[in-house]
Amino acid sequence: NAGVTQTPKFRILKIGQSMTLQCAQDMNHNYMYWYRQDPGMGLKLIYYSVGAGITDKGEVPNGYNVSRSTTEDFPLRLELAAPSQTSVYFCASKEGQHTDTQYFGPGTRLTVL
Amino acid sequence: QQQVKQSPQSLIVQKGGISIINCAYENTAFDYFPWYQQFPGKGPALLIAIRPDVSEKKEGRFTISFNKSAKQFSLHIMDSQPGDSATYFCAASRRSGAGSYQLTFGKGTKLSVIP
């Protein structure tokens, strides 16, 4: 199993551009999450999904959108990128409601200039 | 509102020493407390976790101590090695109710183990 994969690894955007961060998992996990990690700030939850077709906001959802059309994929969309969205983005997945361990992808480092 | 407070922000320990990282939480509904380890350029990975029905859990050189009344938990790394140099995050979540199964992370501790 590849686990949780994320693409791209790095990206530089100009202010106002849009992009989609890709996340996929091959473990048949129902729960998927998007976090952002800023230096010295830990990880903050952006959006999460408990299954295909079901998504909900986390702590810092403004400026982002998500969709979950399949169990495997959970893309994160940035519309009108702003410098405040410069961060490292991590996708994670968890098997189901009665399991606790979240498995993280390798991250996408995004810079907005 | 920061629900999980972690200290220290950075820690330098000599090889063979004990590394101790502390966390305090506010939400008494939390009932799952994991520690994640993150190496530079990588995603966090679960190191060890505890539930509030026990006061201590040990896995190899890593031990979690949990104090429910004080709402505190800590990670102890015995016989610290240079390979343990990483950033450690404590976290907490609840298994039912609003926000269930969402991890709330501390801000992280950068551990450096020097030879």
* CA dihedral (B102, A101, B28, B98) positive or negative: positive
The answer to which of A21-25, A68-72, B85-89, B94-98 has the lowest mean pLDDT is: B94-98
Test the B interface: residue of A7, A32, A43 with most B CBs within 10 Å = A43
pLDDT of residue A96: 82
pLDDT of residue B101: 73
pLDDT of residue B98: 60
For residues B61 and A91, what is the distance between their CA atoms, to the nearest angstrom? 29
Over range B31-55, report the average pLDDT.
94
pLDDT of residue A54: 92
CA distances from A34 to A17, A66, A89, B44, B75 (A): 20, 9, 7, 13, 26
What angle is formed at CA A37 by the lines to CA B81 and CA A88, rounded to 5 degrees? 100
Is the per-residue pLDDT at B1 higher than 60? no
pLDDT of residue B48: 96
Which residues of chain A have a CB within 8 Å of the CB of B108? 40, 42
pLDDT of residue B2: 59
Confidence of residue B102 (pLDDT cuts 50, 70, 90): confident
pLDDT of residue A86: 97
The answer to which of A47-51, A109-113, B49-53, B91-95 has the lowest mean pLDDT is: B91-95
Q: Which residues of B touch A (CB under 8 A)?
A: 6, 9, 32, 34, 36, 41-46, 49, 89, 93, 95, 101-103, 105-108
Which residues of chain A have a CB within 8 Å of the CB of B95? 100
CA distances from B19 to A106, B39, B83 (A): 26, 17, 13
CA distances from A48 to A45, A79, A106, B102 (A): 8, 18, 17, 8
Is the per-residue pLDDT at B114 higher than 80? yes
Over range B35-59, report the average pLDDT.
95
**Residue that the structure tokens 């952006």 belong to:** A46
| Token pair of B115 as six digits | 């030879």
Can you list the residues of chain A whose pLDDT is less than 70? none
> Amino acid letter at B3?
Q
Beta-bridged to residue B58, according to DSSP, are: B63
Greater confidence, A39 or B79? B79
| Token pair of A7 as six digits | 């693409």
pLDDT of residue B14: 98
Burial B61-74 (b: 16+ CB within 10 A, else e): ebbbbbeeeebebb
pLDDT of residue A41: 86
